[in-house]
Amino acid sequence: MAQGFRGTETVIIDSRRNEKGIVYYTSLSDYGKLYSVGKNGLLRNKISDKAVYNLKMYDGYVYYQDKEDNYIYKANDEEGETAVIRKTSDMLAVEDGYLYYQETDGRKKNYGVLY
């Protein structure tokens, strides 16, 4: 243990990079809000005021879920944020232009059904 080090700290990095080198990440110091930053840490930009998780990149967009309503959104620096699935979801995958998710009603009634 290094001298002067007090306790342990945990760092969680949830980020994705698009083909232009822009990194999308959630900021724990800003309650999980979505940000982007360009190459060399330049051009930091807040993308969403939502607390987000489960970031996935596809075709220049970052896809994610909102922690409050669990809807699925997509965003990028040019177009901003758009809701793509306005249903409560429990997981998210993006592959070959398709979104895969599990829809739930909050009581896990449809839990396990893949859309």
Q: In angstroms, rounded to a whole number, what is the distance separating the alpha carbons of residues 15 and 13?
A: 6
What is the distance between the alpha carbons of residues 80 and 104, in angstroms, rounded to a whole number?
26
pLDDT at 5 over 50: no
**Is residue 22 very low, low, confident or very high in pLDDT (cuts 50, 70, 90)?**
confident
Burial degree of 63 (CB within 10 A; 0-12, 13-18, 19+): buried
- pTM over 0.75, yes/no: yes
